[in-house]
A and B are shown apart, each in its own frame.
Chain A
Amino acid sequence: MLHIDNLSRPGLKPASFTLKGGECIALGGPSGAGKSLLLRAIADLDPNDGRVEIDGTSRRSIPAPQWRRMVCYLSAESGWWRDRVGDHFTETDAALALLPDLGLAPDTLDWQVSRLSTGERQRLALARVLLLKPRFLLLDEPTANLDPESTERVEGLIKDRLKDGVGILLTTHLAAQARRLATRQLMVEGGSLSEVAL
């Protein structure tokens, strides 16, 4: 259980909610309302105040890198630090096994990052995160640049993870996607968070 209590940061008023394992919460709201700020604050990527706990253990008592492997944030824009795609993955076999589920060819790992389309980058970045086997996923617009077929594949992977007991908080602009995946919906407007009917 991921418990968020009065989490705040510049641009975000104190927010509280609980995300259970196996539960998916959709996070909606206009662009620039603070959705990404909330996800980043939970992952502890920006200075923030408030209490965040995982199964009663305070985030503060867990080293930040370890925390981010348990509560993993996927940004809308992905970053790459090597030329070859495969060099961004530590477990090549696991990565190869995951590629077909994302509609990517096995030789993708040998491609140059500069050759990738936005959609390919987005799916590979998701693969990178899934391979960490986090307990909670914070996904920022995971299907924003994908065609309908790839969107369906990604949604399938998200559903699989939910069945495995992973708790997922995802931002989406699509009401239909929120209904397909989530059981609850939160809205951020002007930096304040509220729960709305799905």
Chain B
Amino acid sequence: MSFISLGPLDIAIAALLLVLNAVFSMIMRLNLEKRMAVAAARMVVQLVLMGLVLKTLFDLASPFLTAGVAVFMVLFAGREAMARQTRTFTGWWSYGLGTTSMLIAGAVVTIFALTTQVRPDPWYEARVALPLLGMILGNTMNGIALGIDRLLNGAARERLAIESRLALGHDKAQAFGGVVREALRSGMIPTINAMSAVGLVSIPGMMTGQILAGIEPMEAVKYQLLIMFLIAGGTALGVMGAVLGGVRRLSDDRHRLRLDRLTPEKGKA
């Protein structure tokens, strides 16, 4: 393998580009230099910490610790998915819906990949499991956030149409059908777009990393394909779970539209 290791000095030189950004920001009075500095500092600290955590995890090779970190990742992704919404459910559902969907989709797809395709030994090896889960979660989180956002805003916007249908004796599946399909579509379309653009517009980040690490391009391509399929599957599962779970909460056994279970729209800055 022709792997080129980087020294701290190499990274410091690359960071010089950021100084250029800051100078540019000051000349143009963009007022971004402080935010840029904080963001860059956060990035450095977060990534270094992550490296240390991952190194420790790989060395310890404990299934329980690996599972613990995986759960932590899911909880954090759930929080992020919730924060991106302009409207959420009230109470526990606001956080629980996205997080539960992500937990199930992430676990199913990651374990499926670990046990049937990648098959490290042991199957839960952190070096393989956590990066896989991370990539699946990142994309599933996007889809779920979009899907729930569309569902809740769609239901609020289409209130008159939905309630008219309910009042005419349509059941909740009919009355919510249009909004649910819209939400499912918007959750899945980014993944479909990503599949059609990949390889033409950009070399995917993971593939770039593998190629830089000295892996044969065709080997990297195979990994990238595997990951894209896993992402597509995970996103579909997660979006489906979140949207169908959400519409259950938006209605009840008497086929009502329960907008009282939503928080008011967050102020759009």
A68 touches B167 (CB 8 A): yes
CB < 8 Å neighbour of B168 from A46, A64, A77, A128: A128
CB distance from B221 to the nearest CB of A (A): 45
Task: Report the bound CA distance from A69 to B256 in whole Å.
Answer: 14
Contact assessment for A44 and B254 in the assembled complex, using a CB-CB cutoff below 8 Å: yes
Q: Is the CB of A64 within 8 A of B255?
A: yes
Residue B163 lies at the interface, judged by CB distance under 8 Å to chain A: yes
Q: Which of B162, B169, B256 contacts A132 (CB 8 A)?
A: B169
Whether the pair B160, A65 counts as a contact (CB closer than 8 A) is no
Is B161 in contact with A81, judged by CB distance below 8 angstroms?
yes
Q: Is B170 an interface residue (CB 8 A)?
A: yes
In the bound complex, residues from chain B placing their C-beta under 8 Å from that of A73 are 167
Task: Report if A56 contacts B (CB, 8 A).
Answer: no
A81 with B169: CB separation less than 8 A: no
Interchain CB contact under 8 A, A65 and B255: yes
> Between A and B, how many residue pairs show CB distances below 8 Å?
66
Give the residues in chain A near B167, CB-CB below 8 Å. Answer: 43, 45, 68, 72-75, 129
Give complex CA distance A69, B165 in Å: 11
Could you tell me if A44 and B256 are in contact, using CB atoms closer than 8 angstroms? yes
How far apart are the CA atoms of A59 and B265 in the complex, in Å? Answer: 34
Cβ-based interface call for A111 (8 A) = no
Within 8 A of B (CB), among A54-99: 63-66, 68-69, 72-75, 77-81
Interface residues on chain B, size class: 20 to 34
Name which residue of chain B comes closest to A47, CB basis: B256
Contact with A along B228-269 (1 / 0, CB 8 A): 000000000000000000000000111111101000000000
Q: Taking the nearest CB of chain B, how far is it from the CB of A176, in angstroms? A: 28
Closest Cβ of chain A: how far from B126's Cβ, in Å?
A: 48
Is there a chain A Cβ closer than 8 Å to B164's Cβ?
A: yes
Instruction: List CB contacts (< 8 Å) of B156-188 with chain A.
Output: 158-171, 178
Residues of B within 8 Å of A186, CB to CB, are: none
Which A residues touch B260, using CB under 8 A? 47
A125 at the interface (CB under 8 A from B): yes
A79 touching B256, Cβ below 8 Å: no
